[in-house]
Structure 1
Amino acid sequence: MSERVHNRSAGQGPGTKAERRLAAQLAAKKAAEARRRRQSMLGAAAGVLAVAALIGGIVWLNSGDDDTKSTAAAPSASATVPAGETAPPAPALPEGADPALKTKPTVGPGTGELKKLTVTTLIKGTGPAVKAGQQITTNYVGVLYKDGKPFDSSWDRGQPATFAIGVGQVIKGWDQGLVGVPVGSRVQLDIPADLAYGDTGEVSGPLRFVVDVLAAR
């Protein structure tokens, strides 16, 4: 009995060979399991990177959409109805308003030298007078006073413009010319350069606007 134990300790007996084969098999099994774990981890990491790339692409696309929407919402001097498309729908009018406010006005140039702000009522509304600090909703056409060249129009964008009046959010000619105008009115504002955008820049010099006041809150 003691001799067999001695032979196993020395690595020479048949029992020792069997144990060595078993140990080798166990080592191979462990190595295979380790390889499978590494491959699984690498696959999971690749999956995470793919998902992250997909999410990043979606966020980038959404950001691009937001930028586009933001730009489209800003007033544009060159906005027009694309060829082959119908004109924007008529705006909602205040109760009792003249149906003419559903139609975009034709605006021509002024005559002579414009030295002061001139407000001309084209259609008189029956609503309350606009007060400074109110949010007003308007449709408008803007042209250069000297030659009638259009540079901006809410009609072409298909959406009225809403803003605070009399508090410096718009040009002085609007702040001064629209306060006191009854809701439902169409007025012509002839604005000298110092109450508009000045004498330099793409839109400069005296301007003419025809503005429909649709609401005041």
Structure 2
Amino acid sequence: MPATHLEQGVDAVSERTQNRAQKSERRLAAQLAAQKAAEAKRRRQAWAGGLAGVAVVAILVTVFVLVAPGDDDETEPAAGTPSAAASAPAGGGEGVELPEGADPALNTAPTVTAGEGELSELVVTPLIEGTGPKVESGQSIIANYVGVLYGDGEEFDSSWSRGQPATFPIGVGAVIPGWDQGLVGVTIGSRVQLDIPAELAYGTEPAGGRPAGPLRFVVDVLGVE
């Protein structure tokens, strides 16, 4: 039976309603897809930013570790006393510029031998008398030195082997007590022998590569800063 005009009208309205509903659904789906895409983009950007921040922090930590001094470096003198605590001036070794009027023998490294007997106190022995002013506590001295074990004469440190003297503060606890006590008052241009008991050096037990027991140093005082 053919549809009436009314039925045809109802069908047309129904079709238009369905079309509008389908269009609304498609728009809603497109909006949801766009929102999801935007959210995914924001997550990717946040993740990338987080990675960049981590990378920057890692770089800063690496630089700090590479350039920052350790606590031990600030509080403890290293084996060989002066060289680890201070910078070295230009020149040094044989042919180093000597103080005015100094003995030319200071241009030649000394031969340092073992000590004899028990060492219970600091002994300072002048080997060459300098004519310059006396070293004062708190000054930084420029010195060449050789350090050996007092008992057998085995060398453990020498500025001569590095080819230049060392510069370091004296009398302020930057080096071992035997240096602080033995070099304050020494005249510039002097060569002195320091026989240092263990308690004024690094103690009786080896630690951190430092020599144990009594030590002997021969030190050339070349100047002060």
TM-score by length of 1: 0.69
Task: Quickly say closer, same or farther: Cα 1:147–1:52, change in 2 above 3 A.
Answer: same
| Aligned residue type for 2:132 | G
Contact 2:205/2:213, CA 8 A, preserved across alignment: no
| Aligned residue type for 2:78 | P
**In structure 1, what is the equivalent of residue 223 of structure 2?**
215
Between the aligned partners of 2:160 and 2:55, the Cα distance in structure 1 is 40
Task: Quickly say closer, same or farther: Cα 1:16–1:45, change in 2 above 3 A.
Answer: same
Q: Provide Cα deviations, 1:11-44, integer angstroms capped at 9, x if missing partner.
A: 9434423322331232122112112112211211
**In structure 2, what is the equivalent of residue 75 of structure 1?**
78
Question: 1:216 Cα deviation (Å)?
Answer: 2.5
Between the aligned partners of 2:27 and 2:116, the Cα distance in structure 1 is 102
**In structure 1, what is the equivalent of residue 169 of structure 2?**
163
- 3-state DSSP of counterpart to 1:37: helix
Task: Calculate the aligned-residue CA RMSD, in Å.
Answer: 3.6
Between the aligned partners of 2:59 and 2:105, the Cα distance in structure 1 is 46
| Aligned residue type for 1:149 | E
Structure 1 residues not aligned, in runs of 5+ = 78-88
Q: Are residue 201 (structure 1) and residue 205 (structure 2) matched?
A: yes
Question: 1:162 Cα deviation (Å)?
Answer: 1.0
The aligned runs of 1:31-180 (5 Å cut-off) are 31-66=32-67, 75-76=78-79, 90-91=91-92, 93=97, 95-96=99-100, 101=106, 104-155=109-160, 160-165=166-171, 167-180=172-185
Contact 1:107/1:141, CA 8 A, preserved across alignment: yes
- 3-state DSSP of counterpart to 1:52: helix
Between the aligned partners of 1:206 and 1:147, the Cα distance in structure 2 is 10
Between the aligned partners of 1:195 and 1:161, the Cα distance in structure 2 is 20
Between the aligned partners of 1:137 and 1:216, the Cα distance in structure 2 is 6
Task: Quickly say closer, same or farther: Cα 1:194–1:70, change in 2 above 3 A.
Answer: closer
Question: 1:116 Cα deviation (Å)?
Answer: 4.2
Instruction: Give the percent of matched residue pairs that are identical in Structure 1 and Structure 2.
Output: 43
Task: Quickly say closer, same or farther: Cα 1:98–1:41, change in 2 above 3 A.
Answer: farther
Match of 2:197 among 192, 201, 208: 192
- 3-state DSSP of counterpart to 1:13: helix
Structure 2 residues not aligned, in runs of 5+ = 1-5, 81-89
Aligned length, in residue pairs: 197
| Aligned residue type for 2:36 | R
Task: Quickly say closer, same or farther: Cα 1:98–1:15, change in 2 above 3 A.
Answer: farther
| Aligned residue type for 2:214 | P
Between the aligned partners of 1:41 and 1:196, the Cα distance in structure 2 is 64
**In structure 2, what is the equivalent of residue 86 of structure 1?**
none
